[in-house]
Each structure stands twice: as structure tokens, then as C-alpha cells.
Amino acid sequence: MSSFRFAAVGDNCIDRLGAPIGRSLVGGNALNVAVQLARLGHNSFYFGAVGRDAEGERTRAELEANRVAVEHLRVGQRNTAWTDIKVLPSGERLIAAEDFGACAGYAPDEAELAILGTMDHVHIGWLNDGGALRRRLSRAGASVSQDISVNADPADLGVEGLSVVFCSTGQSRDAAEAMAADLLSRGAGCAVVMRGAEGSVALTARESAETGIRPVEVVDTTGAGDSFIAGFLHAWLARKPLVQCLESGRDHAALTCRHLGGFPQEGMPH
């Protein structure tokens, strides 16, 4: 499969997993997608911001260790973002608290926007810019995706102009299909709805597809959705059939569920 130039823009954070795990890991939607695309053999670039602190240095080191280009990693005055994750007895993960730190208010500058316009594809994670980057890139004809599940402000949830929009739901298959159809009607080129243990569905104007999960012994689900996105885009840019894109996402999400965090990190098997 061909190698593409991907950029991921937006959030990074330190995921602080509570007891009984008691470990912190580098993560965040945009950062995880950038790492996973690099691990799939693509030229991957990360655009985002960290603090001038030890966790910012740690984040840069993990990106570099995974061959993600970091020349557009901005170092700000605020702290590196963090997320406290509660681990329930069932194994389910819940966000207990978070601080967006240096990620809050981040936006690429004009020079960086020009570079983003040269990419084969740009994925946007959490970005509180009111949709400005999405609109700018889509008007320029760029291939762009965004995960609207990681955004909360209605101003950041627009989908018009997105080549692919990703979202998550715990609802029924019929509800997921209705959600995908609504996203398509609002201007997305392809709508992908991830349903956790129930699989995923995808819809374009010409094609629909669905797939289940690949059963594995689950260690941690943190970052599995981000790995799904990377796997899907890996096949999407190669113009694979829609069902194969979903299967690629499914398989990469399953791999991530077998270890802690969104990708293997220091002290973990690579």
C-alpha cells in the first residue's frame, strides 16, 4: 500500500489512569492518530501545542520515537494538557477531570496552514476554533477528517466540507445509521459511526457498509477509537472499498486494545 503525507492537528494530553492501573501515558486524539499513521508507514506530521514542562518534553520524545515529524509542535506558556481517567471495576474508562492546558486556543499560523495544504490528508482532533480550520482547508480543496466525538462546543461540531467525519455512539444500529445519514445531509462526504463493542457503520452518497469487532483479550480501550480512525484513513486514502476501510479500522483498534494507552510507550513492547 502506498505511503501518504498525513497531518494530525489538535489535542495531545497526558492520560492519567487511576487505580488499579496507576500509570500515566501520552495520548490525545490527534496525537494518537498521528502516531498510528506513522506506525502504518506513512509520513506523519503533528501540529499542536505542549507546555514548557517535563510532560511536554515527554510528549515530544514519544512522537519522535514513533517517527512523527515534530517541527510544528509548538511550546506554549501553559501546562501540557492532562486527563484523569477513572478505571471502573468493569474495566470501563470514564473521564474524571481534564485540563486542556496548552491545547486550548491553539491554531496553526499562516505558514503552517500553507504546509497543511500540501498534505494528502489532514485529520483534526479536539480543536476549539469554532470550525475555522475545517472551513479553511475544505475551501482550499484539501482532504480533511475530524472526530466530532471529542469536541463538545456546538461551534466546533460542524461537518460541512469534511471528507470523512467520525463520531461515536452507544445507540442501536438503526440509530447509528440515522446519525450517519444526518451527518451526510449536513455536508460530510463520508460518515463513520463507531459503536464500541457493537462494531461500526459507514455511509457515503454511493455506498454503505458495516462491520463487527475483532475479539481480543482487552487490556485497555484507551485510544482504540483513535487507532480505528488511523486504520480507516490508511485504507480510505488508498481508495479501498468502504467495508475494507471499516475492517482496517476494526483491526487496528483491536491491536490497541491489547496494551495500555493509544500506542506502545516506554517500558512497553513495541
Whats the size of the chain, residue-wise?
Answer: 270
181-187's contacts with Cβ under 8 Å and 24+ in sequence apart are 183/159, 186/158, 186/159, 186/160, 187/159, 187/160, 187/161, 187/162
d(CA 66, CA 264) in angstroms, rounded, equals 9
d(CA 68, CA 204) in angstroms, rounded, equals 30
The three grid cell numbers given for residue 200, joined into one nine-digit string: 461500526
pLDDT, position 144: 98
The three grid cell numbers given for residue 259, joined into one nine-digit string: 496494551
How wide is the angle at C-alpha 141 spanned by C-alphas 138 and 147, nearest 5°? Answer: 40
Q: Tell me which residues of the chain have a pLDDT lower than 70.
A: 1, 267-270
pLDDT, position 171: 87
Q: Which domains does the chain have, with CATH numbers?
A: 5-256 (3.40.1190.20)
Taking only the tens place, the pLDDT of each residue in 101-124 is: 999 999 999 999 999 999 999 999
Computed on alpha carbons and rounded to an integer, the radius of gyration of the chain in Å comes to 17
The DSSP code sequence of 1-43 is ----EEEEES--EEEEE-TTT-EEEEE-HHHHHHHHHHHTT-E
Closest CA relative to residue 65, chosen from 41, 35, 95? 35
Contact status, residue 102 vs residue 80, Cβ threshold 8 Å: yes
What is the helix (H) or strand (E) element at residue 207, kind and residue range? none
pLDDT, position 75: 97
Contacts of 54 (CB under 8 A, 6+ apart): none
pTM of structure: 0.95
